[in-house]
């Protein structure tokens, strides 16, 4: 079992929940973020301030961990979201390689999931405000698929995974690879708390080495 795990983007919406989930399961957590004042003060969590654009600094910070969970997001309101997400993700991937850590779990978006053979991000109804970030996450998925060095996993959250669906930890979910998981009402829903459960479960079970998967209730 992996004992020491680095979380990149540890103060973000997803990352902060991943830190708590790991800590609650007894992992030693290295919480990496720009502003570490928001990292929860938990007994087995140590915080380190890093700039992900400094690959050498990041690689050094990752050394000695058993795995890395990446929840980096440069912000949905960022005007350079596409470039910052894609470049940042590629820099993180390279830094993990250079650190010697093999296990790498990264969080993308639901936009790269397929319905009727088409990716959601390409549909005319896709929300314009999140399209740059979703497109970057889709393009990054295509890039990471070329990586044969890392034991990587790319996670696409449910379509409805946002602050409005947060606040509950069910601990149960269903998974799929390329298509969204829908409930009986035709909705694809997962709380951010359960995203953290899914990611730590994947860390422990290694069900999706070198592939993408998704999860919802």
Q: Count CB atoms within 10 A of the CB of residue 36.
A: 15
* CATH class belonging to 4-216: alpha beta
Average confidence (pLDDT) per 10 residues, the chain, 217 residues: 88 96 97 93 93 94 98 88 96 98 97 96 93 96 98 98 96 98 98 98 98 98
DSSP E strands in the chain: the ranges are: 4-8, 28-33, 45-49, 67-70, 103-107, 114-115, 118-119, 151-156, 174-176, 211-216
Res 2: pLDDT: 53
Domains in the chain: boundaries: 4-216
């Amino acid at each position: 079992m992996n004992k020491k795990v680095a979380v990149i983007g540890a103060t973000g919406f997803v990352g902060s929940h991943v830190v708590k989930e790991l800590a609650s399961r007894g992992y030693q957590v290295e919480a990496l973020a720009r502003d570490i004042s928001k990292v929860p003060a938990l007994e087995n969590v140590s915080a380190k301030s890093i700039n992900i654009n400094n690959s050498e600094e990041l690689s050094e910070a990752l050394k000695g961990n058993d795995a890395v969970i990446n929840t980096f997001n440069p912000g949905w309101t960022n005007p350079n979201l596409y470039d910052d997400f894609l470049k940042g993700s590629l820099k993180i991937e390279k830094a993990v390689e250079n650190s010697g850590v093999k296990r790498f779990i990264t969080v993308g978006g639901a936009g790269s999931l397929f319905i009727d053979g088409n990716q959601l991000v390409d549909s005319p109804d896709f929300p314009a405000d999140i399209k740059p970030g979703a497109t970057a996450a889709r393009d990054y998925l295509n890039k990471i698929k070329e990586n044969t060095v890392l034991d990587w996993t790319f996670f696409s959250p449910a379509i409805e995974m946002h602050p409005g669906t947060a606040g509950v930890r069910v601990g149960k979910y269903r998974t799929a690879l390329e298509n969204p998981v829908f409930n009986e009402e035709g909705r694809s829903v997962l709380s951010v708390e359960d995203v953290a459960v899914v990611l730590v479960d994947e860390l422990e079970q290694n069900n999706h080495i070198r592939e993408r998967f998704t999860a919802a209730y």
